[in-house]
C-alpha cells in the first residue's frame, strides 16, 4: 500500500466510521454469533501474497462485523461503559500516525509534557487536592497493582524489591466483599497471597463497614500481622456502592496504613462539585484511580492514576540501564519509571482533545444527565409492581430484578431473572449485564454511554416491560 492508496482508503474509512455511528442503532447491541462461528470462516494460515485492501475490508464487513458487540451503541447498559467519542477517535488517528513511543521525555517531549499538563487539569476537574501528581496508566487493574507495589516498597524501605519476601512480613490488605476482582489479582501478583486479603463485610447498601474494618485491623495487629493497605471503592462494580472514605481514612491514618481509592467508574462523577461528598477524607488517601476510558468519553485504554508520594512510586519502578540514559536525566519526567511497562503510547492526546472539545461544562452536563436519567429510571422501577430495586442508585447504575406478585422462592427468582436478562439482551435493542447482591440475581442498568439520550432510557424501560410480559 503506497501513500496515495493510504490517503484514498483513509477517506473511505472516515466515511465508514461516520456511517457506522449513523446506523449503529440498527445493529443488535450484543453480537448474535455463536462460539466458533467467526474463526471457522478464517483461513488457518497467513497469506503468502499481499492482499488488496478491498478484500480485507470485505472480510472485515462480512466476517468480523457480525461478531462485534457494540459498546458504542446508545442501548449499551452493561458492565460499565467503555466510551469513545468523536474527538477521542480523531485524536487516536493522530496518535497512531505519529506512532511515538513515549517511554522517556526525549523520545517524546510533547507527549511527556502534555501528559503532565492534562493530568493536572484532570486532578483539578475532579477536585483532588494539589498534592497529587497524575500519570496515565492503561487500566485500573494495573494502577491498583502499581499502588500496592508502591505501598509494599515504601513499608519495607524498598527491601522487597531487593530481597523479596525473605524476611517474611505478613502484610495484610483490606477491601470490601464488593470490591473489584483486580484487587485480589494484584494481591496475588505482588506476592502477598490472597489469604492475607481481608474482605470486609458490607452494610445493607453494600458499602464497607468501618466497624468491621477496625476490628479486622486490630485483630491482625494482635495476631502479629502488619496491616499494609486498604483499597476503598468509590462506586463498586456490582452496585456502585460508596465506601465511607472519611472514616476509612481516619483508621488508616491512625494505624499508618496505605490507602488506595478505586473510583474506576465513579471518578468521572466528581466533575460535579456536589458529588465530591464521595471523597470527603481524601487528605488521608495515598493513591487514587479512575478511568476516563469508562465514563469520560475517552477511548479505552486511558486510566488516570494519582499519587501523593511521587518519589516512592518512581523508586519502586525505576531501573536505568545504559541504553535508556538520556542527557536530560531526571530533570524531566521519564514515565517509563512510573509503572509496570517500559513502553508507553501517547494517550494524553485523546484526553486533551476530549476535554477541550466538550469543555468542563459540557462534560458536567452529560454526567448530570446520566445521573438524572438513572434516577428517573430507578423511580420507574420503584413504582412498578413487577420489579424490585436491589440497591440504592447513588450514581448512574440501577440494580433491580423482576419480581412477580405471585410468591416465588429466591432460587426460582434467580432462575427467572437469569432467563429474563437473556431475553432482554436477545432483543438486540439494549444490553444489560448482571451481578449478585445478597445472593440475589441482579440486573444492572448503567446509564452512561456517550450516545445515550433520554429517549433511549424510555425505550429501555419499554423493552424491559415488554419482555417482562413474557414472564408474567
Binding positions for a second copy, 117-136, rule CB under 8 A: 117, 120-122, 124-125
Minimum CB–partner distance for residue 185 and a second copy (Å): 6
- Measured from the CB of residue 217, what is the shortest distance to a second copy in angstroms? 18
- What are the cell numbers at 431? 444490553
Shorter beta-carbon distance to a second copy: residue 15 or 223:
15
Stretch that binds a second copy, among 95-103, 242-250, 281-289, 409-417 (CB under 8 A): 95-103
With 0-12 / 13-18 / 19 or more C-beta atoms within 10 angstroms meaning exposed / middle / buried, residue 322 is: exposed
CA distance 47 to 199: 51
DSSP string, 54-103: HHHHHHIIIIIGGG---TTSTTEESSS-----HHHHHHHHHHHHH----S
Choose the stretch contacting a second copy; rule: CB under 8 A; options: 154-162, 202-210, 211-219, 306-314: 154-162
Name the pairing type of β-strands 440-446 and 397-402: antiparallel
User: Would you count residue 82 as binding a second copy (CB under 8 A)?
Assistant: yes
Among positions 271-300, residues that touch a second copy (CB under 8 A) are 293, 299-300
Cell of 373: 436519567
- How many residues in the shown chain lie near a second copy by CB under 8 A? 153
Determine if 426 is a binding residue for a second copy (CB under 8 A).
no
Q: Which residues, numbered 301-340, are part of the site for a second copy (CB under 8 A)? A: 301, 316-317, 319-325, 327-328, 331-332, 340
Residues 352 to 371 in contact with a second copy, rule: CB under 8 A = 352-353, 355-362
What single string gives the DSSP state of each residue in 207-221?
-B-HHHHHHHHHHHH
- Cell numbers at residue 121, please? 487539569
Min CB(432)–a second copy separation in Å: 11
Q: Tell whether residue 36 is a contact of a second copy (CB under 8 A).
A: yes
- Minimum CB distance to a second copy, residue 416 (Å): 15
> Which of 133, 135, 138, 200 is in the footprint of a second copy by CB under 8 A?
138
Grid coordinates in use for 267? Answer: 471518578
Of 28, 74, 77, 84, the one binding a second copy (CB under 8 A) is: 84
- Which residues inside 383-402 make contact with a second copy, applying CB under 8 A? none
| Contact with a second copy (CB under 8 A) among 133, 139, 240, 397 | 139
Nearest CA-CA partner of 290 in 69, 132, 443 = 132
Residues from 188 through 207 that contact a second copy (CB under 8 A): 188-196
Beta strands 440-446 and 431-437 are antiparallel
438 belongs to the binding site for a second copy (CB under 8 A): no
Q: What is the dihedral of CA 269, 274, 278, 282, to 10 degrees?
A: 100
The answer to the question of residue 114 lying near a second copy (CB under 8 A) is: yes
Closer to a second copy by CB, 58 or 465: give it: 58
Pair 78, 433: CB distance under 8 Å = yes
Mention every residue, 6+ apart, whose C-beta is less than 8 A from residue 307.
132, 133, 134, 135, 147, 150, 286, 287, 288, 313
Question: In this chain, which of 54, 58, 62, 94 binds a second copy, going by CB under 8 A?
Answer: 94
Amino acid at each position: 500500500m503506497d501513500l496515495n492508496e493510504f490517503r484514498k482508503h483513509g477517506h473511505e474509512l472516515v466515511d465508514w466510521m461516520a456511517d457506522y455511528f449513523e446506523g449503529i442503532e440498527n445493529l443488535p447491541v450484543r453480537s448474535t454469533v455463536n462460539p466458533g462461528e467467526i474463526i471457522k470462516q478464517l483461513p488457518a494460515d497467513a497469506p503468502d501474497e499481499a492482499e488488496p485492501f478491498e478484500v480485507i475490508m470485505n472480510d472485515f464487513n462480512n466476517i468480523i462485523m457480525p461478531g462485534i458487540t457494540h459498546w458504542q451503541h446508545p442501548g449499551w447498559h452493561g458492565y460499565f461503559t467503555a466510551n469513545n467519542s468523536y474527538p477521542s477517535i480523531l485524536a487516536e488517528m493522530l496518535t497512531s500516525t505519529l506512532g511515538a513511543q513515549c517511554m522517556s521525555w526525549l523520545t517524546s517531549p510533547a507527549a511527556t509534557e502534555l501528559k503532565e499538563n492534562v493530568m493536572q487539569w484532570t486532578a483539578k476537574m475532579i477536585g483532588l487536592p494539589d498534592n497529587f501528581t497524575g500519570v496515565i496508566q492503561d487500566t485500573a487493574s494495573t494502577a491498583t497493582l502499581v499502588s500496592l507495589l508502591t505501598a509494599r516498597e515504601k513499608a519495607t524501605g524498598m527491601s522487597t524489591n531487593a530481597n523479596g519476601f525473605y524476611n517474611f512480613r505478613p502484610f495484610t490488605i483490606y477491601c470490601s466483599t464488593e470490591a473489584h476482582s483486580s484487587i485480589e489479582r494484584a494481591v496475588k501478583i505482588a506476592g502477598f497471597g490472597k489469604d492475607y486479603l481481608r474482605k470486609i463485610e458490607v452494610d445493607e447498601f453494600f458499602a464497607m463497614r468501618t466497624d468491621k474494618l477496625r476490628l479486622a485491623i486490630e485483630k491482625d495487629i494482635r495476631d502479629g500481622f502488619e496491616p499494609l493497605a486498604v483499597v476503598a471503592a468509590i462506586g463498586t462494580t456490582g452496585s456502585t456502592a460508596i465506601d465511607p472514605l472519611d472514616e476509612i481514612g481516619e483508621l488508616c491514618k491512625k494505624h499508618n496504613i496505605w490507602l488506595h481509592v478505586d473510583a474506576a467508574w465513579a471518578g468521572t462523577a466528581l466533575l460535579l462539585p456536589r458529588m465530591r461528598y464521595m471523597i470527603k477524607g481524601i487528605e488521608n488517601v495515598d493513591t487514587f484511580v479512575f478511568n476516563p476510558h469508562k465514563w469520560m468519553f475517552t477511548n479505552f485504554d486511558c486510566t488516570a492514576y494519582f499519587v501523593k508520594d511521587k518519589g516512592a512510586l518512581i523508586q519502586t519502578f525505576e531501573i536505568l540501564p545504559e541504553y535508556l540514559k538520556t542527557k536530560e536525566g531526571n530533570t524531566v519526567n521519564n514515565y517509563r519509571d512510573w509503572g509496570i511497562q517500559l513502553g508507553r503510547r501517547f494517550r494524553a492526546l485523546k484526553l486533551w482533545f476530549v476535554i477541550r472539545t466538550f469543555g468542563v461544562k459540557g462534560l458536567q452536563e452529560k454526567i448530570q444527565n446520566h445521573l438524572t436519567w438513572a434516577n428517573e429510571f430507578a423511580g420507574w422501577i420503584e413504582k412498578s409492581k413487577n420489579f424490585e430495586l436491589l440497591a440504592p442508585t447513588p450514581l448512574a447504575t440501577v440494580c433491580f430484578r423482576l419480581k412477580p406478585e405471585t410468591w416465588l422462592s429466591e432460587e426460582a427468582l434467580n432462575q427467572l431473572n437469569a432467563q429474563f436478562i437473556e431475553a432482554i439482551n436477545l432483543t438486540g435493542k439494549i444490553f444489560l449485564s448482571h451481578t449478585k447482591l445478597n445472593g440475589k440475581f441482579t440486573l444492572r442498568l448503567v446509564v452512561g454511554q456517550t450516545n445515550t439520550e433520554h429517549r433511549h432510557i424510555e425505550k429501555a424501560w419499554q423493552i424491559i416491560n415488554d419482555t417482562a410480559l413474557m414472564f408474567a
